[in-house]
Structure 1
Amino acid sequence: MSLKHFSILILLASLFGASFLFMKIASPSLGPLFLIESRVFIAAISLIIFARLLKQKIEIKHKWKELIVLGTINAAIPFVLIAYAELNLSASLAAIINSTTPLFSVIISILWLKEGKNMRSLFGIIIGCVGVGILVGWSPIHLNVKAILSIGAIFLAALFYGIGGIYSKIAFQNMKSFDLAIGQQLGASIVLLPFAIIDIPNQLPSITVTVSVLGLAIFSTSVAYLLYFYLIKNIGSTKTVSVTLLVPIFGIIWGVLFLHEQTTLSTYIGLGVILMSIFLVSNTKQKTSDASQQVAK
């Protein structure tokens, strides 16, 4: 990997990691549903503008049903679940738990695609479970009902990301990546719109919240996906998916720098164990890696 591509990979990880910061800031003010509707709608418009500037033809009408399904399971549901979870959890903890997405991708690949399992992938899954246990069990947060539900919501989001990655692989084999990104955000926006209308905030957001929403939609979604697909085209999917290992690191960095979140030794031990498991799982098979490409967030 060249220095240029490595630098883009780091930038991509920082943008994906920043999404947890932006959601942590904006979710309490706007609510999960309205926040995520704003995210996917602005992201879709931004991507369409990018496509026009690059003079790329957008072809999504023939797959509109599938794109609504993809937008639902790979954006609308997991985005809302994470935004809800961050009402009670720190951005750094949410980013770390969400990094278990590749583990769910492997499990779903085995169950859905009937892919052959091997000892390396199974060992990676077991290590990942141990890492999560260390992270949550030794976390300084008070494990009340809200905290437990929030942790479960992020795991559920990771499960949906795993399903969405495999579904996109099956349903959109011949679709351009740019069209897929636009269609996914539009599909999610359509699904969330009626719920967001019901949940409109009672007051205008502050400047900080507004900037967070724009940062989430434009930088952590639109720009991030453009960089993501650029890397897939130029260095391949296997190397690009290594961004999964870097996202929680930036999630911690942004949370500590801007939200003054506290981390403990157990945070870094749990993170290290989870990253080790992801490394084992993500390098097991090319097919599994491809299914794990939809990272988040």
Structure 2
Amino acid sequence: MKSILGLLLLAAIWGGSFLFIRILVTDLGPILLMELRVLLGALFLCVVGGFLKQQPQLWYYKKHYLTLGCFNSALPFLLFAYAAQTLNASLLAILNSTAPFWGVLIGAIYFKDKMGKVRILGCLLGLLGVITLVWADIDVSTGYSAGTICATLGATLSYAIASHYTKLAPDCGTLNNAQGSLWGSVILIFPLLLLFPYDVTFNADTLWSVLLLGVVCTGAAYILYFKLIATMGAQSALSVTFLIPLFGMLWGYLVLDETLTYYTVVGGLLILLGVGFVTGVFSRVWHSMVVKCVST
């Protein structure tokens, strides 16, 4: 029961991150917002790592942390922040769930993993879901739809690349990888602040929102996720992917008064259904039910 509650809490936190991004991106701009997010998350994990006496050895593994930070934080965070300037929090959260599709495709193309009919079906359902969302929620004639949708899909592709990279990278430990990758992101994003200045609007509400995004939605969320992996296993912990869009839509509806259209719901369900087939969650649940029925 504690693991299930932890999973729901993590989904609520990560679903809320899209809400904060949508609120803050206008005041701070995508680059400064993401720099503050990764910096605060890194500082929080630095304190936690010091308390647990775990040091990431930043200089020794600098190439690893910079690579991981690029694909796991810097690039996807910036792309999502860019898209958040026009897309609502609900749609961002839904499109975030396409990461497993990219993971399967990368595994099949570069690592010769077997796709199977079920995974192919899942990819097709996910693609249909994305098309449904784009068709209904974005006016193609405005000219920004292709860029923002490609930005979000590029962000999830980056997550998938990072996931496969960690399998081949040095085993530095989950907490060290989290902290090191965030410090790598801080370094990578900083030069962009000088190249693309932005007129910042800062007030008390902005400060609290940034703190929540960096400390809770980034730093603390990493710790909770790693704890769930330890208690539930990696595959079960990945089921949080199903819940994030639901909380993203809920927060967007409650806080930002975003409209949940019929196409948003249908497209979101198609993506989640596709993720279920791609990740094998449905197969495992079905197998578990059959085993229980036979044993009784």
- Asked if TM exceeds 0.5, the reply is yes
Counterpart selection for 2:123 from 122, 125, 132: 125
Which amino acid in 1 is paired with 2:248?
G
Q: State the distance in 1 between where 2:138 and 2:68 align.
A: 36
* 1:73 equivalent in structure 2: 71
Percent identity at matched positions? 35
Partner Cα distance (2:211, 2:196) in 1: 19
Structure 2: runs of 5+ lacking an equivalent: 283-296
Q: Could you tell me which amino acid in structure 2 is paired with residue 281 of structure 1?
A: V
Distance 1:112 1:284, change over 3 A: farther
1:246 match: secondary structure: helix
Structure 2 residue aligned with 1:288 = none
Alpha-carbon offset, residue 14 of structure 1: 0.7
Does the aligned pair in 2 maintain the 1:132–1:274 contact within 8 Å?
yes
1:197 is matched with 194
| Distance in 2, Cα, partners of 1:204 & 1:134 | 36
Report what 1:145 is aligned to: 143
Q: Distance in 1 between matches of 2:137 and 2:200?
A: 35
Look up the SS of the partner of 1:233 in the other structure: helix
Residue-by-residue CA offset, 1:233-279 (whole Å, 9 max, x unaligned): 11110100000000111110111111111111111111111101000
Shift of 1:56: 3.1
Distance 1:247 1:141, change over 3 A: farther
In structure 2, the residue corresponding to 1:61 is in which secondary structure? coil
- Quick check: 1:187 aligned with 2:184? yes
Structure 1 pair 115/142, CA: closer, same or farther in 2 (3 Å)?
closer
Instruction: Tell me if structure 1 keeps the 8 A contact 2:18–2:92.
Output: yes
Could you tell me how far apart the structure 2 residues matched to 1:59 and 1:107 are? Answer: 33
Query: Does residue 264 of structure 1 match 2:261?
Result: yes
For residues 263 and 74 of structure 1, what CA distance do their matches in structure 2 show?
A: 29
Contact 1:34 1:199 in 2 (8 A): no
Q: CA deviation at 1:140?
A: 6.2
Whether contact under 8 Å (2:69, 2:184) holds in the other structure is yes
2:98 equivalent in structure 1: 100
Equivalence map 1:4-19=2 (5 Å): 4-19=2-17
Partner of 2:33: 35
The root-mean-square deviation of aligned C-alpha atoms, in Å, is 1.8
- Once the two structures are superposed, what CA deviation does each residue of 1:78-131 show, in whole Å capped at 9, x if it has no partner? 100000001011010111112101001100111121112211111110111111
Distance 2:138 2:167 in 1: 39
Matched, 1:47 2:45: yes
SS across alignment from 2:60: helix
Within-5 A mapping of 1:137-286: 137-139=135-137, 143-172=141-170, 174-283=171-280
SS in structure 1 of the partner of residue 61 of structure 2: helix
Q: What TM-score do you get using the length of structure 1 for normalisation? A: 0.91
SS in 1 for 2:239: helix
TM-score, normalised with respect to structure 2: 0.91
User: 1:204: how far off?
Assistant: 4.5
Give the structure 2 partner of residue 293 of structure 1: none
Within 2, Cα distance between the matches of 1:140 and 1:48?
41
Question: For 1:169 and 1:207, how far apart are their aligned partners in 2?
Answer: 42
The one-letter code sitting in structure 1 at the alignment partner of 2:117 is: M
Aligned equivalents of 2:209 and 2:167: distance in 1? Answer: 31
Give the ranges of 4+ consecutive aligned residues of structure 1 lying more than 4 Å apart after TM superposition.
140-143
- CA separation of 1:203/1:101 partners in 2, compared to 1, >3 Å: closer, same or farther? closer
1:37 to partner: Cα distance: 0.7
Contact 1:29 1:201 in 2 (8 A): no
Give the partner amino acid of 2:33. Answer: L
Shift, 1:60, TM fit: 3.8
Amino acid across the alignment from 1:68: L
Gaps of 5+ in 1: 286-297
Kept in 2, the 8 Å contact 1:81–1:154? The answer is: yes
Instruction: Show the counterpart of 1:295.
Output: none
CA distance, structure 2, for counterparts of residue 124 and residue 202 of structure 1: 43
2:260 aligns to what SS in structure 1?
coil
Q: CA deviation at 1:143?
A: 4.9
Deviations 1:171-195 (A, max 9, x none): 13x2210000000100011011111
Using the TM superposition, name which of 143-152 and 37-46 deviates more: 143-152
Larger radius of gyration: 2
Which amino acid in 2 is paired with 1:34? L
Offset of 1:142 from its aligned partner?
6.1
